[in-house]
A and B are shown apart, each in its own frame.
Chain A
Amino acid sequence: MIVRVCVDDSSDQKQEIAISAGAFLGRFGDWREVNRRWIRRLKADRLRYFRSTEYYSLRGEFAKYRDPVIYPKPSGKMAAKQIRDDLESILHDSNLIGVSLVIPLDLYRTIQNSCDAARQIFTDDPFEMAIQSLIAECVKDSIRHLDSTRLAFFCDDGPNAGRISSTCEAYKALNPNAADLIESFVHRDDKKFVSLQAADLMAHLGRECT
């Protein structure tokens, strides 16, 4: 048995407030049911995929909700929110486990600049630390709650894909015992994979908590 872990990251546009890494963990059967319901909900509004940045800005897949004739303000925003609420309900009803790890960036930079050692440890890329910390917490969850089930990680194939992979490899090199629980780490197109769209939603939810 393998648990699929779908990971994504989120930050404010200028990366000044916080960065977060979010994930949903689940077994194959749990993902299958979410997948079916998620796609059906999107199709009801003729959407192909969900992506938080496009939802918030009403661009990309959500651009049609900006049409002032069909959706006079604020009905477009409300229609988009109804879709996100429905997708959240699907996750709520599922057996998937949502997790999110958040690094407040003002705090991060204060500690980073506190001494020479801190500057070496806390790199200029807090994104790497967020992903590595999330992986570590997922491994702990597997040991504590999932009978040390091996974890298959997925993330989207966007601009950060290479950084996420190298971060995972660095984590495995530093933690050989934990590495045994990491079955794989692969990239997929988030437009085609519901599980990655759910991870995107989770990463944003974590950041909203700060």
Chain B
Amino acid sequence: MTQKDPKGIVAGSVEWIKVWDVPYMLGILDHETHRRGLG
């Protein structure tokens, strides 16, 4: 996942904002395909 810098005043209290990206989604696909025996 890509970590983004939060915008705005509230940023000081924000620990993280994570955005799903291609490598992360492909990781989920790979993991779940094997776990569920879909491959």
Q: Which residues of A pack against B, CB within 8 Å?
A: 24, 85, 88-89, 91-94, 96-104, 107-108, 111, 114, 116-118, 120-122, 133, 137, 141, 201-202, 205-206, 208-210
Give the shortest distance, in Å, between A30 (CB) and chain B (any CB): 10
Inter-chain CA distance A207–B31, complex, in Å, is: 26
| CB-based nearest A residue for B2 | A102
Task: Decide: A91 and B25 in contact? CB cutoff 8 A.
Answer: no
Apart from A111-B25, A116-B38, A205-B14, what are 20 other A-B pairs with CB-CB below 8 Å? A92-B12, A97-B15, A98-B15, A99-B14, A100-B14, A100-B17, A103-B19, A108-B25, A111-B26, A118-B29, A120-B38, A121-B29, A121-B32, A122-B28, A122-B29, A137-B16, A137-B18, A141-B15, A208-B7, A208-B8
Give 6 nearest A-B pairs by CB, closest first: A98-B14, A88-B10, A117-B38, A88-B9, A209-B4, A92-B12
Shortest CB–CB separation between residue B36 and chain A, in angstroms? 7
User: How near does chain A come to B13, taking the closest CB pair, in angstroms?
Assistant: 5
Q: Is the interface of A mostly helix, strand, loop or mixed?
A: helix
Name the B residues within 8 Å of A206 (CB-CB). Answer: 6, 17
- B interface residues, Cβ below 8 angstroms from A: 1, 4-22, 25-26, 28-29, 32-33, 36, 38-39
25 A-B interface contacts by CB (under 8 A): A85-B9, A88-B10, A89-B9, A94-B13, A97-B14, A98-B6, A99-B14, A101-B18, A102-B18, A104-B19, A107-B22, A111-B22, A111-B25, A114-B29, A117-B38, A117-B39, A118-B29, A121-B36, A122-B25, A133-B20, A137-B18, A202-B14, A206-B6, A209-B4, A210-B19
How far is A92 from B32 in the complex, measured between Cα atoms in Å?
38
User: Are A111 and B29 closer than 8 Å at their CB atoms?
Assistant: yes
